[in-house]
C-alpha cells in the first residue's frame, strides 16, 4: 500500500464513535464498547496508545488491522481456549459475548525485551516473582516462557504484580488464576508455532480473560495483534543477538522508541508530542505489514470516507 493512498486517508480515520442507537458507550484506549441485548459491540478505532496514554493523532486503517488480526487469531485458537467472539460484521467491529473482565492481564514473555529488558537493565533481577539470572542480553530467549501478570488499570500505568498479588486484586480464586495462567501459556505456544510458520518469533504478548454469566471464562479483547504482541523476524535473529544490535521486529515498540526520542514515556510532567503526518503514514504501513506477515494474507482496506456510517449500516443488518 503506497504512501499517497495512506496520506489521502489521514483525514478519514475513525477517531471515535457515537452510535446512539446502541446506548451508552464505554471508551477505552482504543476500543469503543456498547452493550446490546446482552452482547457487546466492540468497535476498534484508529486511536493509538503507548505508555498507557492515548496519543493525539490517529493512524489510518489501524482499527481495521487490529480487528481483523484479532479475528484471525481468535478463530485459529478457539480449539485451545474458548473466546468471546460471536460475529465480525464490519472490518472495525466484533460482536462478542458479554462478560465481566478479569482485572489482571496475563503477559507471557519468551524473550527478554521491552519493559522486561528495561527493568532488567536498570538492575532488577526479579520480575513478578520470577528470578532472572545475571548476564542476560537484550532479546535473549528465556529458559522457558514466563507469565508476568499486571493489574488492569482503568487509568494510568498498569503495574507488575506477583501471582499472589494478582489473585488478591482480581477476585480470582487461586485455582482460577492457575487455569488462566495455563491458558495463557497454551495460547503462547500456539502463537509461537503460528509465528514460526511465517518466519517470525513471538517474543511476548498479553492475554485478557472475562468471566461469563455462568461462571466460566473466555478469552477477550484481542489476541496476537501488534498492540498486544511483539514479533521478531527469525532470519538474522542470532546474528543480531551476537552482535548486540537491535532486532528487526514487528510490534508497536518502534512507536514507544520514537516517543522516548521525543522525551515522552508517560511520566508526570512530560509533554505528549504530536505525531507528524509522515510518521502516521509510517505507523500505518508497519501495522499493515504486521497483519500481512503474521497472517500470510493481503490486507484489503475499506476506504470509506465515513467509517462510522458504514459501521452503523453493518450493525443494522
The answer to whether residue 194 is domain-embedded is yes
Helix or strand run (H / E) with residue 107: strand 104-111
pLDDT value for 7: 95
Name the β-bridge partners of 44.
31
**243 in the same domain as 310:** no
Q: What separation in angstroms does the CA of 113 have from each of 32, 151, 160?
A: 30, 20, 15
The answer to whether residue 264 is domain-embedded is no
Q: Is the pLDDT of residue 13 over 90?
A: yes
The answer to whether residue 265 is domain-embedded is no
pLDDT value for 114: 86
Q: Is the pLDDT of residue 156 over 80?
A: no
Count of positions (residues) in the chain: 317
Grid cell in block for residue 105: 492481564
Q: Count Cβ neighbours within 10 Å for each residue of 254-293 and write b for 16 or more, e otherwise.
A: ebbebbeeeebeeeeeeeebebeeeebbbbbbbbbebbbb
* Choice between 114 and 137, residue whose per-residue pLDDT is larger: 137
**210 in the same domain as 133:** yes
The answer to whether residue 56 is domain-embedded is yes
* Choice between 317 and 263, residue whose per-residue pLDDT is larger: 263
Question: What is the rounded average pLDDT of the residues 172-192?
Answer: 96
**233 in the same domain as 173:** yes
pLDDT value for 152: 67
Q: Given 250, 271, 301, which residue is the final one in a domain?
A: 250
The answer to whether residue 12 is domain-embedded is yes
Q: Is the pLDDT of residue 317 over 90?
A: no
**196 in the same domain as 155:** yes
Q: Is the pLDDT of residue 136 over 90?
A: yes
Domain CATH code at residue 167: 3.30.470.20
Contact 48, 59 (CB under 8 A): yes
Helix or strand run (H / E) with residue 5: helix 3-8
The answer to whether residue 266 is domain-embedded is no
Q: Is the pLDDT of residue 155 over 60?
A: no
Confidence band, pLDDT 50/70/90 cuts, at residue 129: confident
* Choice between 262 and 158, residue whose per-residue pLDDT is larger: 262
**172 in the same domain as 67:** no
**205 in the same domain as 113:** yes
Q: Given 250, 272, 297, which residue is the final one in a domain?
A: 250
Q: Count Cβ neighbours within 10 Å for each residue of 104-137 and write b for 16 or more, e otherwise.
A: bbbbbbbbbbbbbbebbeeeeeebbbeebeeebe
Question: What is the rounded average pLDDT of the residues 309-317?
Answer: 91
Confidence band, pLDDT 50/70/90 cuts, at residue 157: low
**109 in the same domain as 79:** no
Share of the chain above pLDDT 70, in %: 98
Contact 114, 230 (CB under 8 A): yes
The answer to whether residue 190 is domain-embedded is yes
Confidence band, pLDDT 50/70/90 cuts, at residue 266: very high
SS3 state at 24? coil
Q: Given 250, 269, 300, which residue is the final one in a domain?
A: 250
Domain CATH code at residue 10: 3.30.200.20
Question: What is the rounded average pLDDT of the residues 36-62?
Answer: 94
Q: Count Cβ neighbours within 10 Å for each residue of 80-100 and write b for 16 or more, e otherwise.
A: ebbbbbeebbbbbbbbbbbbe
Confidence band, pLDDT 50/70/90 cuts, at residue 93: very high
**237 in the same domain as 127:** yes
Q: Is the pLDDT of residue 277 over 70?
A: yes
Q: Please state, rounded to an integer, the average pLDDT across all residues of the chain.
A: 92
**290 in the same domain as 204:** no
Backbone torsions φ then ψ of 74, nearest 5 degrees:
-60, -45
Q: What residue numbers bound the domain in which 286 lies?
A: 3-98+280-316
The answer to whether residue 212 is domain-embedded is yes
Share of the chain above pLDDT 90, in %: 79
**108 in the same domain as 82:** no
In total, how many domains does the chain have? 2
**54 in the same domain as 184:** no
Contact 59, 285 (CB under 8 A): no
**92 in the same domain as 107:** no
pLDDT value for 153: 58
Q: What is the pLDDT of residues 283-311, one digit of tens each?
A: 999 999 989 999 999 999 999 999 999 99
Q: What is the pLDDT of residues 66-88, one digit of tens each?
A: 999 999 999 999 999 999 999 99
Q: Is the pLDDT of residue 174 over 70?
A: yes
Q: Is the pLDDT of residue 270 over 70?
A: yes
**Cα 66–chain centre separation:** 8
Pairing of strands 200-211, 229-233: antiparallel
pLDDT value for 23: 85
Q: What is the pLDDT of residues 214-259, one digit of tens each?
A: 999 999 999 998 788 999 999 999 999 999 999 998 878 889 999 9
Amino acid at each position: 500500500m503506497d504512501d499517497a493512498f495512506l496520506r489521502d486517508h489521514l483525514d478519514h480515520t475513525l477517531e471515535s464513535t457515537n452510535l446512539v442507537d446502541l446506548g451508552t458507550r464505554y471508551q477505552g484506549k482504543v476500543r469503543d464498547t456498547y452493550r446490546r441485548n446482552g452482547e457487546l459491540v466492540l468497535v476498534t478505532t484508529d486511536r493509538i496508545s503507548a505508555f498507557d496514554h492515548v496519543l493525539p493523532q490517529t493512524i489510518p486503517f489501524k482499527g481495521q488491522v487490529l480487528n481483523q488480526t484479532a479475528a484471525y487469531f481468535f478463530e485459529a485458537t478457539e480449539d485451545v481456549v474458548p473466546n468471546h467472539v460471536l460475529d465480525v460484521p464490519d472490518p472495525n467491529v466484533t460482536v462478542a459475548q458479554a462478560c465481566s473482565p478479569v482485572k489482571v492481564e496475563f503477559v507471557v514473555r519468551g524473550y527478554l525485551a521491552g519493559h522486561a529488558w528495561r527493568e532488567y537493565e536498570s538492575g532488577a533481577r526479579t520480575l513478578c516473582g520470577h528470578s532472572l539470572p545475571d548476564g542476560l542480553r537484550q532479546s535473549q530467549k528465556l529458559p522457558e516462557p514466563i507469565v508476568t501478570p499486571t493489574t488492569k488499570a482503568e487509568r494510568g500505568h498498569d503495574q507488575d504484580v506477583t501471582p499472589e498479588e494478582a489473585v488478591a486484586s482480581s477476585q480470582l480464586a487461586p485455582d482460577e488464576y492457575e487455569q488462566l495462567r495455563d491458558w495463557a501459556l497454551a495460547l503462547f505456544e500456539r502463537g509461537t508455532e503460528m509465528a514460526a510458520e511465517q518466519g517470525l518469533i513471538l517474543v511476548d504478548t498479553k492475554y485478557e480473560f472475562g468471566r461469563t454469566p455462568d461462571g466460566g471464562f473466555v478469552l477477550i479483547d484481542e489476541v496476537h495483534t501488534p498492540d498486544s504482541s511483539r514479533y521478531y523476524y527469525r532470519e538474522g535473529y542470532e546474528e543480531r543477538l551476537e552482535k548486540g544490535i537491535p532486532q528487526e521486529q514487528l510490534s508497536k515498540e518502534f512507536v514507544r522508541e520514537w516517543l522516548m526520542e521525543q522525551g515522552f514515556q508517560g511520566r508526570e510532567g512530560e509533554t505528549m508530542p504530536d505525531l507528524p503526518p509522515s510518521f502516521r503514514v509510517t505507523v500505518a504501513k508497519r501495522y499493515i505489514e504486521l497483519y500481512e506477515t503474521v497472517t500470510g494474507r493481503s490486507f484489503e482496506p475499506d476506504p470509506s470516507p465515513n467509517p462510522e456510517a458504514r459501521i452503523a449500516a453493518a450493525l443494522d443488518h
